[in-house]
Structure 1
Amino acid sequence: MDFRHLLQGLDVPLTGIALCLHKPPTRRERDALALMIDSAPALFEAYQATHARSPQATLQARRIMASFLMRSPGELVFVGLYRQNGWTERTADELENDPLLRQVDDLTGGHVRTTADTSAGDQPGRACFDLVPMPELAELKGRLVVRDPGSRAYMRLAETTPLEILEIARTPDLSPPMPDWRDLTLHTPTLRILPTRWAEQLRQWRGIYLIVDETDGARYVGAAYGEENLLGRWRAHVAHEIGVTAKLSRRNPASFRFSILDLLSPAATIDEVTRAEQQWMVRLHSRQYGLNA
């Protein structure tokens, strides 16, 4: 079965529908988009509201956009249908200073498509589309998986692009799986929009963690215990525009990167946790050369 069969019930022919197949080249960018869809849809909609000149022209000629995101190589998961209600031209400066796009840029590691096209005589700036989510097929969000039709072009024509349906899952699955604690690395923008299941896992974990300020590599060792464990402690670090300790207060948390040094038992006492914290400070020399007091 092909995705085009599901579109036949709409009031728009296939020639009026564009397929937006988001296929970011890096894992960080794919995971960031999945997190936005799951926990911050306004950011995702800001991301897909602007496009380079060629895909922009395709979307301008279509009334509906069907959005997909690469979940793994060869597979795309359905995000939803959007009615294209027109667009406004925005300058390069307006795009550069848009607060939502700045957040998207932070989450994706600087790969958001907002750079103005100036080659081949194009005028700087882009169209910003008014894309309104549609109720049709909304129940398939995160459940419908199709085969990637290939090619680098991500804005495609519905009538000429086959999308073989591989699976319709019982429950939505858009957010990426949480890594093993040894591999978990979270940047501040991601920590602020964690999917629920990630947050619940961090709420159960207590342990010793490391903060690295990516502006200069300075490091801080901390301990997490109490009612919300790692989740509560990490969120406290990024809740404001400055850090929460004497040395961290001189720094902007926006550039912090979090990881776990030692995962401890939920039954570990406060003395056991703080003793492990002191040991890690010694091992990493984070008092002499880092941000621990």
Structure 2
Amino acid sequence: MIRLTDFLAVPDPGSTKLKFNMRAGGGGGEAWDLLLDDSEEWLNMSRYRSAQTNNNMGDSRYLLAFAQYYPYGPNYFIFGGFFKVTPVVPAIIKGYGYELELQQLHSEFIKRLIVKLERPIGRNVYLRRYESVQQQLSPEVYELAPDTKLGTFPGYQNVRLRHAELQRIIANDEPSWKDALSSVKGVYVITDLSDGRLYVGSASGEANGLWQRWSGYAHLKNLTGGNHELERMRSELGDSHIVGNFQYSILEIFDPKTKAETILQRESFWKQALDSRAHGMNKN
């Protein structure tokens, strides 16, 4: 067993706290989802200063932040960064009372390092001092992933993948994603985040549905799925433009037994609805 404090050494143990974030208040979402998206709400979970002394940073100058990694279970947490803590002056209670500045120390482990606590914790013990956390919660290093961990499949209506994320999902045969995308055909949209233009496509005849179709986009030797307009963009702007700017989402899903003509009709509808022929990347 590798103890957490042996793995994540800090320059000032007596002035460092650890926060095990679980869920944002007011239905704001799971901590891991917010960290994965680099959401501002992720930082706000640790910036908040309550009226209870034991839920505040106190005199701590540094913070190790973690997010509950729910795909593994309630006592698993993934590392979210080492921060310098500066209290807001004048003091704010029941609001964002701290400024957090991300430090380079241990930054290579963000979204990769997963620790396991001896048992699940309640909201009254989610903030702990570095010097006593090992005795109180027995955190141990459980996994150090070779790359950023990905969340489980979030549901067809919530898919929003950057190209690098799509590549990792396909390359690693991520089980929940492969099962979900292989079991449906569908209409999807690719967004060029550099200018907002859209490309609407479909998986209408592939045996493995959206998984097979999107696998074509994920490989560096293809990137365009054979689409002529996307291939033109690639030749003009280079692979880096696609990898750096393309985002993939699902517009509509269909049972695998659905006829190809039906799906192609819906693809045409979405091209009209989103005006992706005149102002997007569709040319047919």
TM-score, normalization by structure 1 = 0.51
Tell me what 1:144 maps to.
113
CA deviation vs aligned residue, 1:179-230 (integer Å, no higher than 9, x gap): 5xxx5332xxx85x86853598899986259xxxxxxxxxxxxxx5269999
Tell me what 1:11 maps to.
11
- Answering whether residue 201 of structure 2 is matched by residue 225 of structure 1, we say yes
Check the 8 A contact 1:143/1:171 in 2, yes or no. yes
Give, as a single letter, the amino acid of the residue that structure 2 aligns with 1:62: S
Alpha-carbon distance change, 12 to 166 in structure 1, aligned in 2, over 3 angstroms:
closer
Aligned to 1:21, what secondary structure does the other structure show? strand
Tell me what 1:36 maps to.
34
Aligned-pair RMSD on alpha carbons? 4.5
Aligned-residue sequence identity (percent) comes to 11
Higher relative contact order (CA 8 A, sep 6+): 1
Q: Any residues of structure 2 matched to 1:116-135 within 5 Å, and which? A: 125-135=94-104
Alpha-carbon distance change, 42 to 276 in structure 1, aligned in 2, over 3 angstroms:
closer
Give, as a single letter, the amino acid of the residue that structure 2 aligns with 1:171: P
CA drift of 1:67 comes to 0.5
Aligned to 1:37, what secondary structure does the other structure show? helix
Alignment partners' CA distance in 2, 1:197 and 1:169? 18
CA drift of 1:7 comes to 4.3
Q: Pick from 149, 154, 172: which aligns with 2:147? A: 172
Give, as a single letter, the amino acid of the residue that structure 1 aligns with 2:63: M
CA deviation vs aligned residue, 1:18-72 (integer Å, no higher than 9, x gap): 1110122999822xx3343233354422343214223676313101110011113
Structure 1 residue runs of 5 or longer lacking an equivalent are 92-122, 210-223, 231-257, 279-293
Alpha-carbon distance change, 2 to 264 in structure 1, aligned in 2, over 3 angstroms:
same
CA deviation vs aligned residue, 1:243-280 (integer Å, no higher than 9, x gap): xxxxxxxxxxxxxxx87440669xx86x44244689xx
Q: Pick from 60, 63, 66: which aligns with 2:64? A: 66
Alignment partners' CA distance in 1, 2:58 and 2:23? 22
Check the 8 A contact 1:16/1:62 in 2, yes or no. yes
Give, as a single letter, the amino acid of the residue that structure 2 aligns with 1:137: H
Structure 2 residue runs of 5 or longer lacking an equivalent are 171-176, 189-199, 204-209, 215-249, 269-284
Aligned to 1:85, what secondary structure does the other structure show? strand
Aligned to 2:56, what secondary structure does the other structure show? helix
Alignment partners' CA distance in 1, 2:33 and 2:117? 21
